[in-house]
Amino acid sequence: MPEPHPLSRRELLRAAGGALVAGSALSLAQPPESLVALLYASLTPAQRRAVCFAWDHEDAELGLLRTRVAANWRISEPELAGDFFSAEQRALVRAIFEGITSPEWHARFDRQLADDAGGFGRHQAIAIFGEPGTSRFEFVLTGRHMTLRCDGNSADHVAFGGPIFYGHATGSWWSGGFLERAAHPGNVFWPQALEANRLYAMLDGRQRALALLPELPEEHAVELRGADAPATGIPIAELSRDQREEAQRILRALVDPFRQSDRDEVSAALRAQGGLDRCALAFYAERDLGGDGIWDHFRLEGPAFAWYFRGAPHVHVWVHVADTPGVALNA
């Protein structure tokens, strides 16, 4: 088997000009859900056995596989950059990926993937659940620091098709890329934390005492707390008008890497649970890189909303958003 290689965007888009199935030329202008259907149609029986699953497929160790989220994993065995997929199929996966992320973020995601995995396709895998074109299907792309989904609103109650994960490690060579410096130079997601810290700088002493907590929760602990559980951090509803406006800017920064329809799903899910005013924002003093008081960790949480930015030793971000708190987490 040839050595897998990273797939450049130029190579993938060039490959996309080829015929995918007999009599059908690939158009990158199609919605990502349509591209998932084209990908599914192109798969051979052997490929389908490896990467296609029933909608409610249960893995013996990982549970309901479609809903699984992790910091570093492959949902199926075949590596995208290997020879298991054709060039046209890899191009389709790239086009789906570009369709579910914001165009302004494609270069930044490519930088993350180059740093963390050696490039798009390296150490990445896909799975398709259900049958594209029906009311129940979902495409999942996984790898180091990435779990992204395309579901065409098939999954009930959840934004993004289920919990997602993104991250980036830009540490120095002596740390194996694991430990970042305090300013997180080159980290494409660190500006999200800087946006949150701008709000912290606006808080008075009483507000900071509420917002800053001493110890970090488990990084994958993004279960939905429900309406009756107490919020941790400072309630957004207790902020002044200008502080609440800054909280809105934080939310916009968090959803900015993703396509507009997923941003709209997040907004709709939040409204169903009372909006941002039902959320709270927490910062964590533990593991403050450089001891500079620019908090590397923060969490925006509501009854059915959990967005947890963990910035040390490098950036991991866990996201679980729904319109009801009754959605279980599989992490």
The structural domains of the chain, with segments of one domain joined by +, span: 9-155, 173-321
pLDDT at 173: 53
**Amino acid of residue 34:** S
Q: How many CB atoms lie within 10 A of CB 9?
A: 16
d(C-alpha 134, C-alpha 27), whole Å: 21
pLDDT at 133: 87
pLDDT at 323: 97
d(C-alpha 26, C-alpha 87), whole Å: 12
pLDDT at 247: 98
pLDDT at 20: 41
pLDDT at 28: 62
The answer to pTM > 0.85 is yes
Per-residue pLDDT of the chain (331 residues; tens, 9 = 90+): 334 445 555 555 554 444 343 334 455 678 999 999 999 999 999 999 999 999 999 999 999 999 999 999 999 999 999 999 999 999 999 999 999 999 999 999 999 999 999 999 999 999 999 999 899 999 999 999 999 999 988 899 999 999 999 999 997 655 566 889 999 999 999 999 999 999 999 999 999 999 999 999 999 999 999 999 888 999 999 999 999 999 999 999 999 999 999 999 999 999 999 999 999 999 999 999 999 999 999 999 999 999 999 999 999 999 999 999 999 999 9
**Any residues with CB less than 8 A from the CB of 275 and at least 6 apart, and which?**
none
d(C-alpha 88, C-alpha 94), whole Å: 10
No. of helices (H) and no. of strands (E), the chain: 9, 15
**Residue 329: DSSP 8-state:** P
pLDDT at 23: 35
Question: Exposed, middle or buried by CB within 10 Å (0-12, 13-18, 19+), for 123?
Answer: buried
**Amino acid of residue 286:** E
| Phi-psi sector, 186: left (phi>0), alpha (psi -120 to 50), beta | left
Enclosing H/E stretch for 91? helix 87-99
